[in-house]
Amino acid sequence: MSNNTYNGWHNYETWRVNMELIDPIDPRDMMADGMDLADFADYFREYSEDVISCSGEGLALDYARAFLSRVNWREIARAKLAAYDLEAA
């Protein structure tokens, strides 16, 4: 069995999306009462899908969506909240 972790992250896709798309986001800008970890994970997923959708259509977009499907969004949300010393509801 192989170890698919990457730089301490669940996998390469999670590390790369966090580094290139999510890292610039300040979660304090989107804090709302009652947001839980799943809400933050969903927000990051939807944001990333919006970013790649701007690139057009076709095969490249299909590959980008497949790449995003392997991302561990909850891991990103946990790490982002921890980096800002925040807690979800």
Q: What is the pLDDT of residues 6-22, one digit of tens each?
A: 999 999 999 999 999 99
Q: How far apart are CA 15 and CA 28, in angstroms?
A: 21
pTM of the model: 0.88
- Calculate mean pLDDT across residues 77-89: 90
Q: Which residues is 10 bridged to in the sheet?
A: none
Q: How far apart are CA 70 and CA 58, in angstroms?
A: 19
- Amino acid 41: pLDDT: 97
Q: How far apart are CA 21 and CA 3, in angstroms?
A: 24
Kindly give, in sequence order, each residue whose CB lies less than 8 Å from that of residue 31, ignoring residues fewer than 6 positions away: 86
